[in-house]
């Protein structure tokens, strides 16, 4: 065995790999032959392990900062990187040449901003030159990704940026000749959004259903906004506020216990799937919806978050109860005699 060199020069450790390498050397069976002070070896290993924990925490902070920087830089892309996606206000609108996007589609139409495949790729390279994606499943017969191809083609996959992998999905018209290319582009846009690229564009697009009536969607959104603004304005203006004070409950007022216990609510939501199937979702319960039933929903939401961790959806961010708690909350509410069903 070669004797270890003796020197008074300090050893500078500034990264996790170097610290782990030194721990391995100090933990080797022959380390005691070179350094006869066993307590010194133990103290040095303990100090190196503490340093590793500190360095890994600093790396995590840096990594989180780099992920946050993607949102800061790319949530609202430069106008020059955006294209226009037309949404006819009604399906039956006659087609014509559009002065906005120069396309040929139903008119009139609203237009959504979106990032094309090349621009999304540019943003991903800027965020992480080593970004990558992979399909969620491989077809062992073809060696290619598994694609569900009906009227619409669908492919699930994973996008990896800065070492973080997130699930994403792409859809495209399955009847197109080059649907696969469009499918990959849509999957990348969806995945990039989950890292913050073009995030604001998606939040605007959520107000319009891809197969719905844009006029109705815009009218509903505008109506809710206008109603909120009008209500706030009425409360801010002296004469109208006094008029509203006569009919609105005062602070601390509300239904008595009998009213709360005798109250109930029943909501039916009617919807049509992309395949043309009509479904009705029902949410109903006994108890005043503004007080008794709401208290149950809040309490069960808190219990689900505290106790049902493994059953919660794998999601993060600002979420609704449906996306953040999901079936765990449904099961709890049903157990409390809520009617939550789809038919």
Q: What is the pLDDT of residues 104-117, one digit of tens each?
A: 888 888 888 888 88
Query: Across residues 110-126, what is the average pLDDT?
Result: 90
Its sign, for the CA torsion 315, 320, 321, 327, is negative
Are the C-beta atoms of 171 and 153 separated by less than 8 Å?
Answer: yes
What is the arithmetic mean of pLDDT over 288-292?
Answer: 78
pLDDT single digits (tens) 7-49: 455 667 667 777 788 778 777 766 655 555 556 777 777 877 8
Between CA 263 and CA 272, with CA 269 as vertex, the angle to 5 degrees is 170
Q: Is the pLDDT of residue 207 over 60?
A: no
Greater model confidence, 189 or 314:
189
Is residue 5's pLDDT more than 50?
no
Q: Which residues contact 129 (CB under 8 A, 6 or more apart)?
A: none
Quick one: pLDDT at residue 2? 43
Dihedral class, residue 27 (left if φ above 0, else alpha if ψ from -120 to 50, else beta):
alpha
Give the rounded distance of the alpha carbon of 206 from its chain centre: 13
Residue 221: pLDDT over 70: no
Q: Which has the closest alpha carbon to 202: 74, 100, 109, 90?
A: 74
């Amino acid at each position: 065995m070669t004797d270890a060199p003796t020197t008074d020069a300090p050893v500078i450790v500034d990264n996790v790999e170097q610290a782990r390498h030194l721990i391995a050397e100090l933990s080797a069976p022959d380390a005691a032959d070179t350094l006869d002070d066993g307590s010194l070896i133990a103290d040095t290993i303990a100090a190196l392990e503490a340093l590793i924990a500190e360095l890994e925490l600093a790396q995590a902070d840096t990594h989180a900062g780099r992920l946050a920087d993607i949102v800061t830089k790319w949530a609202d892309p430069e106008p020059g990187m955006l294209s226009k996606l037309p949404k006819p206000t009604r399906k039956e609108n006659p087609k014509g040449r559009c002065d906005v996007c120069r396309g040929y589609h139903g008119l009139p139409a609203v237009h959504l901003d979106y990032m094309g495949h090349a621009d999304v790729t540019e943003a991903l390279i800027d965020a992480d030159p080593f970004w990558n994606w992979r399909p969620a499943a491989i077809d062992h017969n073809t060696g290619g990704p598994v694609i569900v191809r009906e009227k619409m083609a669908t492919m699930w996959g994973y996008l990896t940026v800065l070492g973080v992998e997130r699930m994403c999905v792409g859809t495209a018209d399955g009847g197109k000749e080059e649907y696969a290319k469009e499918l990959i582009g849509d999957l990348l846009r969806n995945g990039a959004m989950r890292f913050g690229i073009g995030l604001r564009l998606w939040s605007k697009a959520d107000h319009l259903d891809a197969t719905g009536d844009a006029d109705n969607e815009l009218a509903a959104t505008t109506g809710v906004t206008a109603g909120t603004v009008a209500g706030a304005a009425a409360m801010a203006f002296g004469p109208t506020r006094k008029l509203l004070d006569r009919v609105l409950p005062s602070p601390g007022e509300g239904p008595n216990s009998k009213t709360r216990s005798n109250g109930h609510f029943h909501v039916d939501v009617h919807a049509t799937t992309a395949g043309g199937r009509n479904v009705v979702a029902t949410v109903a319960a006994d108890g005043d919806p503004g007080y008794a039933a709401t208290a149950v929903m809040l309490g069960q939401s808190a219990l689900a978050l505290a106790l049902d961790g493994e059953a919660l959806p794998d999601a993060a961010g600002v979420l609704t109860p449906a996306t953040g708690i999901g079936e765990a909350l449904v099961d709890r509410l049903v157990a409390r005699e809520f009617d939550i069903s789809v038919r």
